[in-house]
């Protein structure tokens, strides 16, 4: 089995033996993107990742390969987004990401002898729809985050997070469910905003 196939299937692989042809092409586009204007020219990332409509990323951005990243519609990521995409990283629709967030699929063996052979592995990360990550959140390999979720600032997400909740901490844990009262409160705030908005 080729090293690239081992990497994307969760098996141990040897990074120096990967075919990095596409990776290096994507990293060149990433460099161009990071040195564009302040808001970033998303066209410069064309072909590096699969992305939907209305995607905005504030530079700088760092990814390992790019081709293992899937982004849905209405995606916003603030500055210093890091995605180590040895395995698939999937973001649903309406995902907001604060500054300095990181998504790590790559990891290393606990056994030092094997680790020192430069063998590593990668496990996929999946994020549902309508998810907001506060700043400085770190999501670790193999984690699935449900839909309609808020992840609090500074959280380290080491286990799956279910739908419809606020979660925070290190390690990240569910704090509470998102309720109808939450929705009613913010609907009221939005109504007041639109009623008072300068026409």
Q: What is the CATH number of the domain that holds 192?
A: 2.160.10.10
> What pLDDT, on the 0 to 100 scale, is given for residue 198?
66
- Count of other CB atoms within 10 angstroms of residue 68: 24
Q: Residue for token digits 């939005």? A: 190
Q: What is the pLDDT of residue 199?
A: 54
Buried b or exposed e, range 153-184, using 16+ CB within 10 angstroms: ebbebeeebeeebbbbeeebeeeeeeeeeeee
Number of domains in the chain: 1
Taking the chain (199 residues) in consecutive chunks of 10 residues, what is each chunk's mean pLDDT? 94 94 97 84 94 96 98 97 98 98 97 96 98 98 98 98 98 97 93 80
Contact (CB, 8 A) for 159 and 143: yes
**Which runs of consecutive H residues, i.e. helices, occur in the chain?**
3-8, 21-34, 112-115, 180-196
Q: Long-range contacts made by residues 153-161, C-beta under 8 angstroms, separation at least 24? A: 153/98
Give the number of C-alpha atoms closer than 13 A to the C-alpha of residue 143, restricted to the C-beta side: 24
Contacts of 106 (CB under 8 A, 6+ apart): 64, 84, 86, 87, 120, 121, 122, 141
Distance CA 91, CA 161 (A): 14
Residue with tokens 């990521």: 77
Range of the structural domain that residue 38 is part of: 3-196
The active-site residue out of 14, 65, 108, 185 is 108
Q: Could you confirm whether 108 is annotated as catalytic?
A: yes
Bridge partners of 96? 76, 132
User: How high is the pLDDT of residue 133?
Assistant: 98
Number of helical H runs and strand E runs in the chain: 4, 20
State whether residue 31 is helix, strand or coil.
helix
Q: What pTM was computed for the model? A: 0.94
């Amino acid at each position: 089995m080729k090293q690239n196939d081992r990497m994307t299937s969760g098996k141990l692989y040897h990074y120096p033996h990967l075919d990095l042809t596409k990776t290096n092409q994507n990293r060149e586009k990433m460099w161009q993107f990071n040195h564009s204007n302040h808001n970033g020219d998303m066209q410069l990332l064309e072909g590096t990742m699969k992305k939907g409509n209305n995607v905005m990323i504030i530079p700088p951005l760092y990814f390992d390969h790019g081709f293992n990243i899937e982004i849905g519609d209405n995606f916003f990521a603030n500055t210093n987004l890091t995605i180590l995409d040895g395995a698939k990283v999937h973001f649903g629709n309406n995902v907001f990401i604060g500054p300095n967030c990181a998504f790590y699929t790559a990891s290393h063996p606990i056994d030092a002898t094997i680790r020192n052979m430069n063998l590593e592995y990668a496990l996929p990360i999946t994020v549902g729809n309508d998810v907001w990550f506060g700043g400085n959140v770190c999501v670790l390999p193999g984690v699935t985050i449900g839909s309609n979720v808020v992840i609090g600032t500074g959280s380290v997400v080491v286990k799956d997070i279910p739908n419809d909740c606020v979660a925070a901490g290190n390690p990240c844990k569910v704090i509470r469910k998102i309720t109808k009262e939450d929705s009613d409160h913010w609907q009221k705030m939005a109504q007041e905003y639109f009623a008072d908005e300068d026409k």
